[in-house]
Chain A
Amino acid sequence: MSAPTLPAALADATRDDASLRRFLHGLPGVDQVGVEARAAALATRSIKKASKLWAIDTAISMVDLTTLEGADTHGKVRALTAKARRPDPDRPDTPQVAAVCVYPDLVAAAVEGLRGTGIGVASVATAFPSGRSSRQVKLADVALAVDSGATEVDMVIDRGAFLEGRYGAVFEEIQAVKAACGNAHLKVILETGELVTYDNVRRASWLALLAGGDFIKTSTGKVSPAATLPVTHVMLQAVRDWFTATGELRGVKPAGGIRTTKDAIKYLVAVHEIAGEQWLTPELFRFGASSLLNDLLLQRRTQHDGHYGGPDYVAVD
């Protein structure tokens, strides 16, 4: 079950269930007090003027504009795609977002709305958000998304299997979904709020990277806590360590609960100082968010105009 591109030591780690367990439990632990202190310290970086503007534009270009409600309609998705094409109609120099993220049955609508823009269409498949269904159903979900034109698939891992210690099962499922994705990029949602400990977050991150996930993603947004700075720190360390071990660049996506420009900038600082400068691109870092974009747009206007315009100057979609 090993992936062919991995260096020998890592390939060996995925030989069977026992070696996978040995490898994951052999990773350095994460000290809770330490990682939270570091996250808090980095959050005090003062970003203003030119660097703030740069950060705002970069953050906009990293947004996966998301709607994941039971009440989602074609109309809602169309409105969202319009917003993704032109986030701020008064200011054409505003960057486009990275992708629009919807449920599989609405992918076609999103593809239609984004035709010719180069903006990605992401879809949460695999019985999102709980992941509690058969492999067959999960893969069918992925197929629906991919066949409808999704360029990115956000899968959830089987947290139950992970917490039971059945790492091999989680690994195989990620590999199966990756195969089903074809050319679509795979983001693996760890649902860190349910994994609880930072040690688990680190192990799940490595598991997803070993199985071929292009991105590791914190949360579905349906479980509290969703993305937090310290959890994202641990995941950024994982992709950095992965790069050191393999030379491959993999991405990180915090999702859920990031609502303000101030918060987004804290994440960018973490990307910059923990993983490194080369991760500061939509290819390797995304924000899973719905309301963040409007705050970014308002703050962008504030920076350019010198005064705050207010929420009625941006679209509510």
Chain B
Amino acid sequence: MYRYTDFDTAFVAERNRQFRQQVERRIAGHLTEDEFKPLRLMNGLYLQLHAYMLRVAIPYGTLNSAQMDQLALLAEKWDKGYGHFTTRQNIQYNWPKLRDVPDMLDALAEVGMHAIQTSGNTIRNVTADHFAGAAADEIADPRPVAELLRQWSTDHPEFQFLPRKFKIAVTGSPNDRAVIKAHDIGIQVVEREGRIGYRVLVGGGLGRTPMIGKELTEFVPLAELLPFVEATVSVWNLLGRRDNKYKARIKITVHEHGIDEIRRLVEDRFAETRQAFNGADLELFDEIAAQFQPPAFRNVPTDAYDSAYEADPVFRAWADTNLWDHKAPGYAIAQISLKPHGQTPGDATADQMRVMADLARRFGHDELRISHEQNVVLPHVHKSDLPEVHKILKAHGLATANIGLISDIIACPGMDYCALATARSIPIAQEIATRFDELKIEHEIGDLKIKISGCINACGHHHVGHIGILGLDRAGVENYQITLGGDATETASLGTRTGPGFSAEEIVPAVERVVQAYLEHRESPEEPFLAAYRRLGMAPFKTALYGEETGKKARAA
């Protein structure tokens, strides 16, 4: 994996030195909050409901064990012993003190990490498929491109004051695990006639105006990718609606001007940007790609795995649910659920972080990934090691066998932590997970993704949840709207609102009625929820939620 160069290290050290001075000047009263706020946001420091929040970048979700150990240290030394992994593959600390933040940033820099551009109207942390470099279906590892984009975008002088934040995701597989269609720019590695190139989507995003990204180009070669992306951001930087923050995202620009006009403008601009790139980006790409070589995989028998799979039903359930196909024979991708039933989705304690780091060191070629679904991945584990890995995970509350199931819920921090939220997300996720664990039907239900946001900004991706839940404030009371039929993959779609929302007390029974309707109406256990919804439409679910009369109206519509 990529290791910082001397230039990177010096750059981060200088930023940290500057920020330390800025914090000191704020505390001494030489900077007002209005002056200080943009400076702290440039370094990932927010002020939330109960405390400051530091958002740390985990570029394309890739970590090594030393970095994970350091995240644990930060959690223990400057927070309350845990961290929260987010849908943008970042980690957030919810309780830092202002005076401690420069020390936290210095500690991160020791392991090549930082919080630069995790906030502000700039190009944010570049995300990627969490199975990058490991997935059996991968055309090429998306991380060299993601790292190239990270270096290009960091402190890019043209893009430090964009109309709004800008999010880029990259996938190297046709199966989209990076939600590229809900990003400002989504990049997909494609292969044509033996040539690797990139399909570029633009204008996707969730929030108050959710949109699925549109294809800007079906293929650009590597030599043209960076100037093409620069041209795209540059066009939006000029056209973007700075008059209204709610209309400032590129999805609105694409919608208002049309994809054909945007494509024309990007191509015009590309003719200029292409001239400015002299090939240094390609040399850099080669240097980066050389650091993402696959580890030396072992060629040993999988007997230990086979016998444990036969003998131990708990291990078998975990293996069936949490493992994914690896490109190397005898290997698996092991997903560690941060969704134990009834706990806060995405949280890991310092001890758990150290356990995961240790597993990566001992059994995982020193690699970890953070998924946008708020779980952790050991991307390269030989199957013969999996019984031992599972045993250790189990001993530390990390072996919940629920990846992709109803309790593997994405939930934003909601009003428990976030200053923007209008309702809570976490307790709803906790209650749903607990309820379906009690019912013992989670595995029977199968693939079902619930995503919960505590406000219209949709950090919990509710629009693309098979069942989406949006928490709102209705006259001083938490109220939860349900959407159905959302999809975050290559067949992306936005969910449709079912009707009036539900109170906090009513929402879990409402979700249960939706699931019961699915179980009653599915063609077979092989038909997943999303497929059943697409076949059946909204009517049976409306009936389940609101009664027969409403269901009849939905059928007639």
**A and B physically associate:** no
Q: Which residues of A contact B (CB under 8 A)?
A: none
